Structure formats: structure tokens, C-alpha cells
Amino acid sequence: MKIYNTMSRRKEEFVPIQPGKVGIYVCGPTVYDLIHIGNARPMIVFDTLRRYLTHRGYEVNYVSNFTDVDDKIIKRANEEGVSADEISEKYIAECRKDMESLNVLPATVHPQATKEIPDMIGLVEKLIGGGHAYEKNGTVYFRTRSFPGYGKLSHKNIDELESGHRDEAHQLKVSGESEKEDPLDFVLWKPKKEGEPFWKSPWSEGRPGWHLECSCMSAKYIGGTLDIHAGGEDLVFPHHENEIAQSEAANGQPFANYWMHNAFLKINGEKMAKSLGNFFTVRDITAQVDPMIVRFFMLSVHYRRALNFSQELVQDAGTSLERIRNCYDKLKEKAGTGTPLGEEEEEKKKEADILLEKFDAAMDDDLNTADAISAVFEFVRTVNAFLAAGISGELAGIFLKALSTVMEDVLGVKLAREAGLLDEEVEQLITERTEARKAKNFARADEIRQLLLEKGIVLEDTREGVKWKRT
């Protein structure tokens, strides 16, 4: 498999450190609110990477953290008059629900910063001992210039960074970090302010800096060098650059061999972000749209390309998925007949292997889910033609297994329909209701509206006719 490595800016052949095993670390969300569908992009993309590597026979150790100590969490806790723990525990639980609805597998471990404080203090001590960090008035800073490779991931030159920071003298005073030896230095440990959660440490009662947790927890749960480190592209600098500096300065070995970064989910050409207020939560979207359509939509574009979000584009993804599901339904029905494979079907049977080969070839090319989905559509077209001409139950079973392997096991898009009404069934009932109304049979018309409502379908009578949506 080839993976585009942000570090080398090239696609590289993936070679794991230990044959047959892969250790992946993915930076997880800060848990102060419901996640938005931009946050869901790395979750879905790297869950798909994990599933694909598993499908190729690797044993995958997948670690993804919850950042549960952070200014935003503390702010929210103070606003609501509850503890920071209450906020983070609540939103971890909510995040897990969203992940489950999007069929994102739970990580092997989901470490939490607040539960790893002693290890983080140990890492800071090691960095101080090695001359890579220093303490000033209870704050510990990383001595950025003590790490020669700084900037290698984001391809930034340390001297340019320095000049970019020149105007920061004033800013540093404001942020209370004026005692830094160098504006490039960043915080490893900071003392508490009034009303903030804190832990005891050799330097002050306080809390760890954000970058530190990922360096610490990835080493603890994966160890040594990571095979793959991943996250959204906004994390390249400074977060991942700082993680590398901390980890490599402390351990003297490469931190991660492959760096993968997903591009943004955008809305009207802008990054979807809490701070911009242009976001939709996963909770809101999945209340309106089948979460499997959302997942399919996310995978319809390669992960390194920006993906524009709009209700129309999601609907289009729904229509495309419907074509695959219709084929799946027909295959399932046919497979149930159990009729044996005919001799003349040997040639047709090869289509299952062709699908798997083309699918894997696309995924091997830096997880190209867009091309992988094209291979599925080609397969569906061929199989639909076979179905129209008639096939045995056994052949349908073979096709069904191939389709389910790529769509469900690897892409994580469930094909079986939730117990509810199919679009055509809804349309049929609406037609029946319109006819009942024309015939002035209002009792029947109302009955149908009620029936649809019970199945989660809301009707709206408009001038252009009846419109409907799922609640």
C-alpha cells in the first residue's frame, strides 16, 4: 500500500515496523460540546484506513485520545457552573454515541489526558533532564532550538518562524509568557489560575500543555516509533511539529514513520469550525439523514481533497448509495433461493474477484476511496445486467459477499436498511393518499398521513405537490 507522507510530501510504500502489525495514533476531539461533521471527517477516514489494513490481514493497534483538559472545557464548565470533569465526561459519552451511529469502531484504547498526568510529568522531567525544557515561575517550556529537526514536518524554517514571532514581544506579555527564553518555545506545563482544575507537580499546581498528551499517550499505548500518526491538516503546525520535538528530544528515535492528514470539510468554501459558527453537529445531521449516507458522502472524495458540505451533495450521495443498496437487496433475495451455480456461470463468477482487485488497488493508492467506490459502481452495473438476465442463488451469494466485504467491512457503510420505509414505499403511500383526497376519502388520507408519521416521515402539502422528509 502507498501512503502520502506529509513529512516527505510523497507517496511512499507502507512498511510496518513489525511485520503484520500496525500502530496508529489519531488526534481526537476536545470534548467541550457535541462534535461537528468536520470533526467526523478524520474519524471516518482513519477508521476506514484501520478497517482496510485489517482487511489486508494486519493486526491494528488504533489509539485515539479525548482531550479532556483544555481552556474551552474549563470555560464551558464555568459557564454552566459544573466541574470540568462533568463537561468532558458528558461530551465523551455523546461523542461515542455519534461515532457509533457513523459506524466508527471504538479505538483499541481511547486515552484521556486527565488520566495520564503522572506519565506526562515524567516526560517533562525527562525533557528538563536532557536540557530540552526549563522552568520559569511554575511554567515549563520546551526549548525549541534545542531540537535541530524543528519544522521538518510542516516544512517551516526555524529562522523564518523566529522573524514571524518578532512582533510577539507585546503579545507574550499579554499572555503571561514573557519569561520565555525564546518566542518559539512552547508550554509543557502551566500553573493553575483561579477556578481551574490542577494537579500537583514538581514545578507548580497546574496542568499539562495540549501537545504533551499526544506525545505521552502514543508512546504509552503504542510504544517506540508509531507506524502512522494522523489527524486533520490544521494539526500539522504547531501541534504535530511540537509532538515530534517533544517525543524525539526525549526518546532519541523517530516519533512516527508516516504522517497522514485529512483535508477540511468545508461549507461555502470555508473550513467548518465551531469558532466560525458555520457548523452542523453530527447529531443534527444524522437526525435528518441516514448516518450511513453521511459516511458514504465523506468517503466519496479522497481524504486529501477538500470536501464541500451541502444538503444537496449529501442527498446526491444518498441517491448513489440507493443504487448500491438496491443491487444488494436484489442479490439478497436471489441468494435466498439457494439454487446451485450453473456451469455457464463460472465466467460471471469472476466479477467478484475483479471487484475485490480493483477496490484494493484503489485503496492501496493512498486510500483512494473515491476510486474504490467507482469500482463498486462498475460492479453494480455488471451485476444488475446479470440479475436482469437471471442468475443462480449461489452466484448471488458470491456477489453479495464481495459487495458486503468492500462496502460494509472496509468502507463501514452498512447496506441493510433500517427497519423503516423505503423511498419507493413512501412515494407509493403518498400517491395513494393523493388519490384518496381526490376521491374525497379524507379518512383514508388522514390514516396514511398518520401511518407515515409513525414511521418517521413528515408530509408537507405545497403548491408544487406533496413534499416529504424523514425526521
Chain residues that interact with ligand AMP, rule: CB under 6 A: 27, 29-30, 38-39, 41-42, 231-232, 234-235, 262, 264-265, 271-273
**Residue sitting closest to ligand AMP (CB):** 232
Task: Find which of ligand AMP, Zn ion, none residue 39 binds, CB within 5 to 8 Å per kind.
Answer: ligand AMP
Annotate each residue in 195-234 with x if it binds Zn ion (CB under 5 A) or - if it does not, as one string: -------------------x--------------------
| Angstrom distance (rounded) from CA 190 to CA 181 | 16
Binding of Zn ion by 244 (CB under 5 A): no
Interface with Zn ion by CB under 5 A: which range of 26-34, 50-58, 272-280, 403-411?
Answer: 26-34
Q: Name the grid cell of 419.
A: 427497519
CB closer to Zn ion, 186 vs 328: 186
Task: Find which of ligand AMP, Zn ion, none residue 368 binds, CB within 5 to 8 Å per kind.
Answer: none
Residue 176 DSSP one-character state: T
- Shortest distance, position 256 Cβ to ligand AMP, whole Å: 15
| Angstrom distance (rounded) from CA 200 to CA 241 | 27
Residue type, 340: P
The number of beta carbons lying within 10 Å of the beta carbon of residue 252 is: 8
Alpha carbons within 13 A on the beta-carbon side of 242 = 20
Size of residue set near Zn ion by CB under 5 A: 2
Binding of Zn ion by 236 (CB under 5 A): no
From residue 283, alpha-carbon distances to 286, 337, 361, 408 in Å are: 5, 40, 34, 22
- Shortest distance, position 272 Cβ to ligand AMP, whole Å: 4
From residue 94, alpha-carbon distances to 67, 283, 295, 357 in Å are: 14, 9, 18, 38
- Shortest distance, position 238 Cβ to ligand AMP, whole Å: 13
| Angstrom distance (rounded) from CA 207 to CA 114 | 9
The neighbouring-strand residues paired with 10 are 5
Residue 156 DSSP one-character state: -
CB closer to Zn ion, 259 vs 303: 259
Q: Which long-range contacts (CB under 8 A, 24 or more apart) does 312-317 make?
A: 314/285, 314/289, 317/293
**154: helix, coil or strand?**
coil
Interface with Zn ion by CB under 5 A: which range of 23-31, 71-79, 374-382, 418-426?
Answer: 23-31
- Shortest distance, position 36 Cβ to ligand AMP, whole Å: 7
- Shortest distance, position 27 Cβ to Zn ion, whole Å: 3
- Shortest distance, position 61 Cβ to ligand AMP, whole Å: 19
Binding of Zn ion by 27 (CB under 5 A): yes
| H helix or E strand, kind and range, residue 123 | helix 117-129
CB closer to ligand AMP, 46 vs 147: 46
Chain positions contacting Zn ion, by CB under 5 A: 27, 214
